[in-house]
Amino acid sequence: MKLPDFKKHKLDFNTGRENPPKKVLNNTSEGIKIKSHYNISEIKSLNFKNLVAGTYPFLRGPYASMYLKSPWTIRQYAGFSTAEKSNEFYKNNLKQGQKGLSIAFDLATHRGYDSDHPRVRGDVGMAGVAIDTVEDMKILFSDIPLDKMSVSMTMNGAVIPIMAFYIVAAEEQGVSPDQLSGTIQNDILKEFMVRNTYIYPPSTSMRIISDIFSFTSRNMPKFNSISISGYHMHEAGASADIELAFTLADGLEYIRAGLGAGLKIDEFVPRFSFFWGIGLNFFMEIAKMRAARVLWAKIVEQFNPTSPSSLNLRVHCQTSGYSLTEHDPFNNIARTTIEAMAAVLGGTQSLHTNAMDEALALPSEFSAKIARDTQLILKDKTDIIKSADPFGGSYFIESLTEQLIEKAWEHIKEIESYGGMTRAIELGIPKMKIEASAARKQAKIDSGKRIIVGVNAFLMDKDTDIDTLEVDNTEVRNSQIQRIVAVKEKRNESAVRDCLEELYTSVSNNTGNLLEIAIKAARNRATLGEISFAIERAAGRFIQKSRTISGIYSNEIKMDEIFLKAKDLSDRFAKKAGRRPRIMIAKLGQDGHDRGAKVIATAFADLGFDVDIGPMFQTPQEAAIQAAESDVHVLGISSLAAGHKTLVPEVLDTLKSIGRDDILVIVGGVIPKKDYGFLMGCGVAGIFGPGTVISNAAIEILNILMEAFE
């Protein structure tokens, strides 16, 4: 066989001449037009040709050698009910190759409540580990040397008592604060935008962050005092440009907070780290991480730092939880692998890979091992670590990177025009932009414009059954209450009261350092709830106002056949009942992830429903009473934190006790199939898991309502 003569094609690899004509294939969620072919002419700036990793503006990586010298840190974000079970899980993971700990706390802990508080009955131990006292923290790290182990803690609302417990637990292990390494998330601004596990108003929350910056800069040189998170914006539906811009705008606000507290830029900014969510848009995610480094260097440069470390954006990544599906869950292994590759090729410093069953329940040990091994395979079985920035110089990647830089910079300038991120949050602007982005994405999925394998295309005849982890909420709560009682019996009550009063005075008079005072309180065995409430007593507890957007979902899906059918059925019901179908969307317990609830509210409003949204963090009794007072036809409960078996029956019991068991109760979110029978037996009328087409859900609900009016 004669080989072809490539010389006759006269290809010029520098200019890309004779490439086929370029065609725009589609617009991304970011509004970037993807072309069929790229060459050097696509790049407005050719600076990338002369840049190397480890040099300003760090486009190609924060460190010169990248993974050649030190691969990324393999982490697993996890916490299981009690400190004992979590400690056992952590030690087993460390034996299996994990290099750092990432601690997941339960929602009661996040929101500053002790496990014995009545508002958290369904939350204790359900989405992470319950921590009430220093004794819990000591058990959590038992036989794990804190002077040798990097510890990442996702904590924002109750960050003061958690940091205090961590420092005191280390002290009692013989480890001083200057020996501790790791990261505290401590990113409260994004809580007001998306995740909602805030406690105090923004001003007090920013004061707490400043005090932590000050304490750690003086006493904990190896510890990262903040991890500024875009992950939760990503999970809430933000496009890459919005996630990028709002996260970096948060970082800019934190710089100002540190400077306002009297710190010098090089004293605290080098300890900043960032946290990105990594989805399935493979090339966009790589470009996002590269663009972030350039933008951060540009932002920090204006403050005239003298240390190059101040300009250097370092990042932890987590694969997307939103991309995981309830249907065909084994497909989630492939999804997570693709996302993990994007994180590594984008230059992450550490990585958590989600388990395949996290759209169903808390991860099992079996699924967590697969997730962890995915990273080990990428690290040890591929050549992915042999080159810094392997995609650097790709015309496509460089073009995406440039366009993301430009789009994100415009968003940042808009935030600055309002007076910075704190003011923009007060106006509700970032939250509304993220929710609009989420509604557009959901409409594309529901209409089939965006394919989700196993959900809206290539479906299997029957679902795959897999074993999932289940936590006995009552058992964990009783165990924690017993430990709280035991701690209180042994402590010096007078010393505790003095420390708590000092905390209250410090907040009231804006004096002292809150973390220093909380450490004294922790040594005296004050509980997490007591420390949190001492601050709350002076500052108050923040209450978010719920708002909905309209028209976004319908504008994207308006010609879809199922959408039109649901809308017609809604109109028919209105004629028959004499009023529009009315639904209330409720979030029970302390779960702050409200993407699903907000998207449902937006979509149902566009389908012709009157929609009420209950305030965040309702008790079952509060939700039931509000539903009755609003005279709704349907109460929709959004559950993502595994508290459904405790909280939903209480809603149904309350409705019955007030004579309103005619209100239809439905449940959506992360509900294991094995729990469907239990909930239906309690009286739930419908359960809608991840991947449900909203219009189909509306049709099912409307059919039930129509039957009731026959």
Annotated catalytic residue within 38, 77, 198, 553? 77
Chain centroid to Cα 496, Å, comes to 34
Name beta bridge partners: 370: none
Annotated catalytic residue within 232, 327, 411, 645? 232
- Identify whether the C-beta of residue 99 lies closer than 8 Å to the C-beta of residue 73: yes
Parallel, antiparallel or unpaired: strands 610-613 and 634-639: unpaired
Annotated catalytic residue within 431, 587, 633, 645? 587
Residue with tokens 């509900």: 671
Residue 614: other Cβ atoms inside 10 A: 22
Question: Does the active-site annotation cover 56?
Answer: no
- Identify whether the C-beta of residue 434 lies closer than 8 Å to the C-beta of residue 547: no
| DSSP output for 181-231 | -EEE----HHIIIII----S-HHHHHHHHHHHHHHHHHH-TTEESEEEE-H
The answer for residues whose C-beta is within 8 angstroms of residue 494's C-beta and 6 or more apart is: none
Annotated catalytic residue within 200, 231, 254, 553? 231
Q: What angle do CA 112, 113, 118 make, to 5 degrees?
A: 155
| DSSP output for 429-487 | HHHHHHHHHHHHHHHHHHTTSS--BTTTBS--SSPPP-------HHHHHHHHHHHHHHH
- Identify whether the C-beta of residue 670 lies closer than 8 Å to the C-beta of residue 690: yes
Instruction: Say how far apart CA 325 and CA 335 lie, in whole Å.
Output: 10
> Can you read off the two tokens belonging to residue 119?
């508002």
Question: Does the active-site annotation cover 593?
Answer: yes
The answer for residues whose C-beta is within 8 angstroms of residue 123's C-beta and 6 or more apart is: 106, 107, 108, 473, 589, 590, 591, 641, 643
Parallel, antiparallel or unpaired: strands 24-27 and 33-35: antiparallel
Question: Does the active-site annotation cover 234?
Answer: no
Annotated catalytic residue within 327, 593, 598, 645? 593
Instruction: Say how far apart CA 104 and CA 645 lie, in whole Å.
Output: 21
Instruction: Say how far apart CA 225 and CA 656 lie, in whole Å.
Output: 49
Annotated catalytic residue within 123, 591, 606, 675? 591
Question: Does the active-site annotation cover 232?
Answer: yes
Q: In 3D, which of 206, 185, 104, 125 has the Cα closest to residue 542?
A: 206
Residue with tokens 């309180």: 521
> Can you read off the two tokens belonging to residue 235?
């999970």
Q: Would you tell me the crossing angle of helices 282-301 and 240-260 to the nearest 10 degrees?
A: 30
Question: Does the active-site annotation cover 77?
Answer: yes
The answer for residues whose C-beta is within 8 angstroms of residue 507's C-beta and 6 or more apart is: 204, 207, 514, 534, 535, 538, 539
Question: Does the active-site annotation cover 553?
Answer: no
Active-site residue list: 77, 231-232, 587, 591, 593
